A and B are shown apart, each in its own frame.
Chain A
Amino acid sequence: MASREMVPVVEPDLPEPSGPAARRNRGVLGSLATAVVRSPKALVGVVILGIFVVMAVGAPLIAPYDPHDTEFGRAEGPSGAHWLGTTTYGQDVLSQLVYGSRQSLLIALLVGGFATLVSALLGVAAAYVGDVADHVLSLVTDIFLVIPGLPLLIVISSYIRGGGLMVMVGVIVFTSWAYGARQFRAQALSLRHREFLEAARVRGERTSYTIVFEILPTMTGLLVANFLGAAVGGVLAVAGLQFIGLGDITSISWGSMMHWAENNEALQAGSPLWDLAPGLCIALLGASFALINYAFDEVSNPALRPPRRRRRGRAVA
């Protein structure tokens, strides 16, 4: 949602920082690693993300109870046996929270991946093919960009009713690819007359081959930034949908926890953590992606990097 708008545009074409350390670290993973090492912001992001990954993978070991169990006291506050209290239905909030991380991470991965794929293909195709295709694709992109995403998402989902995880992911990708496509198009336009593309044209390569194997690999920075942005957007969108009661609300997830908590007025009824804890997790997960993205952006776009304080008596390189 809002966060998509904030993802700064990455310009991987800008010169990498000089010096031996930078030269060794070419490539996406390299610059991601550089970002993490250089910036405390990215480190915080990676650590938070790591904790959630551990939580999702090791859920059966970490969660104190079965998340579906309804045999505990109803709407209890935090206690030694139930650190975050219990729900009105007699479930353990902490166990649900731990298991809930699985769906959110999965959605981040799926929406991030598919949305980036769609954005990249449509954006690059528009720029590379040009002419009528570009006009049509750009127009469609602009239309999708202006139509408010969440209301559209809500309207579509309410016609579908229910539907599993993949349906939700599909609808989110459908409503959210436009912002990325525009960035990819802008980036691809700047490459259009480069020699390696002229060469591909002379060799008579197919358009699809050129787009996938020649152009996309040069945009790794933008691909990563887009993936991270779309992943945050996806997690927030699913949470918002489930909070309203749309999409898949019978599964154990942070969004559906908040939905049932709201339905039972958990805030006023003495089990506020049922409502607040899953939201905090969504917030932390979103923040971790945003932090990694920001640090990564600072590495690939030196103009945004915090200015170094000059040391006296030394020439500034």
Chain B
Amino acid sequence: MPRLIRRLEFFVVTFWAAVSINFLLPRMMPGDPVQEMMNRMKGQISPARRHSLEVMLGLNTQDPLWKQYLDYWGQVVRFDFGSSITYFPDTVTNVISIAIPWTLGLVGATTVIAFTVGSLLGATAAWRRGGVLDSVLPPVFIVVGALPFFWVGLLFLYVFGVVLGWAPIGFGYDVTTGEFDFSWTTISQILSHAILPATVILLTSVGGWILTMRNTMIGVLNEDYVKMARAKGLPAGRIMVQYASRNAILPNLTGFAMSLGFVISGALLVELVFTYPGVGYLLVQAVTGQDYPLMQALFLLITTTTLVSVLIADGVTYVLDPRTRGKD
């Protein structure tokens, strides 16, 4: 239990750090871009909206820094990030809540699939040391892992979307029909629009899981308890799954949560390539439109998501690994 409590503390500290980064950045940087943005907004927004933007970005205030900081936290806690500039007059919270399901569906699903498939392949590769899987997969995925996600996206978009015309080349569903309900046509449209970006994220992220799982598994297979299991004459499948894989997957699980940040980063750009209406596309829109309030909120959202995943992974490790339950 103390371990979980320590992680919870870490969660709080990191969340505090992320909010503080958001608070400090616009105040530290030469203020021109932010002021510029506010000038463009003049006369378009109500005084209340204007005030909440000023608190977010630290403009037109004589308050001492600590007071600004407290006000800032006040707004963060109330999820009040002001109005979006790009999607004016919508509030930032509104704009983001529309984008979240798209990313959660696309990135969430593909990440879980990549982790499962990757760990299985990695374990099999290590089990059959020197076999076909073991000699082909690592070098292939080391190269694939170094590829820019967004370039693989462009390539797929060009080959399957533009040249072959097999899949739609953008958006999350067919925007021209305008119909949006839970009918079969809508669902099939969503799936057909997701297939290319999903494949790209899957292909570029699965390699990491294969390699780490393979390398840990190789280490675990040399452990005495695996030798013991072999000596007892246990069936191979049981040794592989219940003895070796179960132990090899633990560090991988922590890595899974940690690298979620990397995966999300890559997925952001894939969304941009496919103009997929998720969080990543929104972030890029915010950057292009100098929509600082939206940007701040998205950064906080992405960081919090990663943190929550780390916590979940810790919880699962706690259940799977008795050693973490001891008095450490």
A33 to chain B, nearest CB (A): 20
- Report whether B10 and A280 are in contact in the complex, using a CB–CB cutoff of 8 Å: no
- Report whether B212 and A2 are in contact in the complex, using a CB–CB cutoff of 8 Å: no
- Report whether A159 and B29 are in contact in the complex, using a CB–CB cutoff of 8 Å: yes
Number of interface residues of A (CB under 8 A): 55
| B106 CB-CB contact with A under 8 Å | no
| B283 CB-CB contact with A under 8 Å | yes
Q: Enumerate chain A residues within 8 angstroms of B303, measured Cβ to Cβ.
A: 146-148, 151
| A244 CB-CB contact with B under 8 Å | yes
- Report whether A41 and B258 are in contact in the complex, using a CB–CB cutoff of 8 Å: no
- Report whether A143 and B17 are in contact in the complex, using a CB–CB cutoff of 8 Å: yes
- Report whether B287 and A158 are in contact in the complex, using a CB–CB cutoff of 8 Å: yes
If A139-B13, A243-B150, A303-B219 touch, does A267 touch B143 (CB 8 Å cutoff)?
Answer: no
Q: Enumerate chain B residues within 8 angstroms of A189, measured Cβ to Cβ.
A: none
**C-alpha gap A147/B307 in the complex (Å):** 8
| B290 CB-CB contact with A under 8 Å | yes
| B215 CB-CB contact with A under 8 Å | yes
Q: Which of B14-64 contact A (CB under 8 A)?
A: 14, 17-18, 21-22, 25-26, 29, 33-34
Contact of A2 among B219, B255, B259 (CB under 8 A): B259
| A109 CB-CB contact with B under 8 Å | no
- Report whether B264 and A148 are in contact in the complex, using a CB–CB cutoff of 8 Å: yes
**C-alpha gap A291/B255 in the complex (Å):** 22
Q: Enumerate chain B residues within 8 angstroms of A252, measured Cβ to Cβ.
A: none
A173 to chain B, nearest CB (A): 16
CB-CB nearest in chain B for A179:
B258
Q: Enumerate chain B residues within 8 angstroms of A287, measured Cβ to Cβ.
A: 142-143, 146-147
If A1-B262, A146-B261, A161-B33 touch, does A276 touch B155 (CB 8 Å cutoff)?
Answer: yes
**C-alpha gap A119/B264 in the complex (Å):** 23
Q: Enumerate chain B residues within 8 angstroms of A150, measured Cβ to Cβ.
A: 265-266, 268-269
Contact of A146 among B258, B290, B292 (CB under 8 A): B258
| B204 CB-CB contact with A under 8 Å | yes
A275 to chain B, nearest CB (A): 6
- Report whether A307 and B129 are in contact in the complex, using a CB–CB cutoff of 8 Å: yes
**C-alpha gap A68/B157 in the complex (Å):** 29
- Report whether A290 and B287 are in contact in the complex, using a CB–CB cutoff of 8 Å: no
* B contact residues vs A (CB 8 Å cutoff): 10, 13-14, 17-18, 21-22, 25-26, 29, 33-34, 129-130, 134-135, 138-139, 142-143, 145-151, 154-155, 157-158, 162, 169, 204-205, 207-208, 211-212, 215, 218-219, 222, 255, 258-266, 268-269, 272, 283-284, 287-288, 290, 292, 295-296, 298-299, 302-303, 306-307, 310
5 residue pairs, one from A and one from B, having the closest CB atoms: A279-B151, A150-B265, A148-B261, A286-B146, A290-B146
A/B interface sample: 29 pairs, CB < 8 A: A1-B149, A1-B265, A2-B149, A2-B266, A6-B208, A8-B211, A147-B261, A148-B262, A148-B306, A149-B261, A150-B265, A151-B268, A151-B303, A154-B287, A154-B295, A155-B22, A155-B25, A158-B290, A158-B295, A243-B272, A244-B269, A258-B151, A258-B154, A267-B158, A267-B162, A279-B150, A290-B145, A294-B138, A307-B130
